Amino acid sequence: MLFQSEILLDEEILKLKKELNAIILAHYYQESEIQDLADFVGDSLELSRQAAKTDADVIVFAGVHFMAETAKILNPRKKVTIPDLNAGCSLSDSCPAPLFKKFREENPNLYAVTYINSSAAVKALSDIICTSSNAEKIINSVPLDRKILFSPDRNLGRYLMKKTGRDMVLWEGTCIVHEQFSEKKILQLKFNYPDALLIAHPECEESVLQYADFIGSTSKLLNFVREIDAKEFIVATEVGIIHQMRKYCPDKTFIPAPPDSSCACNECPYMKKNTLEKLYLCMVNQEPEITLPEDLIEKAYIPLKRMLDLS
What residues make contact with ligand 13P under the rule CB under 6 A?
43-44, 117, 131-133, 175, 201, 203, 217-218
Binding mask 269-308 for ligand SF4 (x = CB under 6 A): -xx-------------------------------------
Using the rule CB under 6 A, give the single segment among 7-15, 88-96, 124-132, 275-283 that binds ligand SF4: 88-96
The reply on whether position 177 binds ligand SF4 by CB under 6 A is yes
Q: What's the min distance (Å) between Cβ of 99 and ligand 13P?
A: 21
What distance in Å separates the CA atoms of residue 212 and residue 202, rounded to the nearest whole number?
A: 10
Say how far residue 193 (Cα) sits from the centre of its chain: 29
Using the rule CB under 6 A, give the single segment among 84-92, 97-105, 192-200, 274-282 that binds ligand SF4: 84-92
Select from 24, 268, 283, 297 the one that contacts ligand SF4 (CB under 6 A): 268
Q: What's the min distance (Å) between Cβ of 96 and ligand 13P?
A: 18
Residue 305 burial (CB count, 10 A): 15
Query: Whose Cβ is closer to ligand 13P: residue 54's or residue 174's?
Result: 174
CB 244 within 8 A of CB 209: no
The reply on whether position 68 binds ligand SF4 by CB under 6 A is no
Residue 64 burial (CB count, 10 A): 26
Query: Whose Cβ is closer to ligand SF4: residue 20's or residue 176's?
Result: 176
Q: What's the min distance (Å) between Cβ of 48 and ligand 13P?
A: 9
Q: How far apart are the first and last CA of the chain?
A: 39
The reply on whether position 61 binds ligand SF4 by CB under 6 A is no
Using the rule CB under 6 A, give the single segment among 98-106, 249-257, 265-273, 296-304 that binds ligand SF4: 265-273
CB 215 within 8 A of CB 201: yes
Query: Whose Cβ is closer to ligand 13P: residue 89's or residue 276's?
Result: 89
Which of 26, 36, 3 minimizes the C-alpha distance to 246? 36
Cα distances from 215 to residues 77, 143, 154, in angstroms, run 37, 25, 16
Alpha helix segments (H runs only) across the chain:
4-20, 32-37, 44-53, 65-74, 90-93, 97-106, 120-124, 135-141, 154-164, 183-192, 206-209, 218-227, 241-248, 276-285, 294-310
Alpha helix segments (H runs only) across 54-96:
65-74, 90-93
The reply on whether position 175 binds ligand SF4 by CB under 6 A is yes
Footprint of ligand SF4 (CB under 6 A): 64, 89-91, 117, 175-178, 203, 238, 268, 270-271
